[in-house]
Amino acid sequence: MDGDGGGLVLYECRDKIATITLNRPDKLNAVSDEVVVHLADALNRFDLDPDAEVAIINGKGRAFSTGADVRQRQLRSREEFERLGGPQGRGSHSADLLTRAVNWKPVIAAVHGYVMGLSLGLTLECDLIVAAEGTRFQLTETSRGLGASRYWALFHFRGAGAFGDEIAFTGRFFTAEEGFKAGLFNRLAPEGKHLDVARELAAEVAKNPPLSIRTTVRTRRWYLERLTREAQFFAAPFKLYLTEDFHEAALAFAEKRQPRGFKGR
């Protein structure tokens, strides 16, 4: 298994299936700017790999990913936020990971442990999703003060409207079992078997003529990107990443304490 970015992301291809692994287990695969950049490189490598027809994204260790690296991406100075236009670093916007392809090959998310914030968005954007039983998901942007517009759109795109409304407004944890029942996920795997089930699903996809699959992938992602970009467009003028509430929520998380109250500004 080859590493990208000093081993932050691993890449392996066997039997037409590429396996892309988030490899920051000591941080529960928290996503830094560097992780996004190297994940983009791995996805581009897959897109151009003549031996790969389907990719599986997974995480090493106890969790798929606990989301954005709060200390790096959410505790920037106000000047940095204004210059970057948000928490993401230059060239490391996670919303672009699956929308800049050449060959439009399908990507399966195989998740376990915890899937939170940014990594929930990445999971929902993948073409197919396999979730291990007992996996816990959370839309942390709601409680963090960043808003859930993009995630709300992803839930609705996957046909889980009422469930998505509740999660977007409450930001509560939900389980793989709840998500599967709501129609968010394609397969529910026994605990510890998410990669095995994902490989079985990938093999089913890879049996088909590749160009046939790619036209569907490109169509799906075009509609998904249009919907999520529209949602972000409506939310953008609020510049929530510059609010006092967001700063307090991010600081409270980093300091492992409860927020000291929100002010609506």
Q: Which residues are catalytic?
A: 141
Residue among 11, 49, 18 nearest 199 (CA):
18
- Write the CB contacts of 50 (distance below 8 Å, at least 6 apart in sequence): none
Phi, psi values for residue 108, rounded to 5°: -110, 130
Q: Which residue has the tokens 């260790």?
A: 61
What is the separation of C-alpha 171 from the centre of its chain, rounded to a whole number of angstroms? Answer: 16
What is the separation of C-alpha 239 from the centre of its chain, rounded to a whole number of angstroms? Answer: 21
Q: Which residue has the tokens 């929308």?
A: 99
Dist. CA 37–CA 54, nearest whole Å: 21
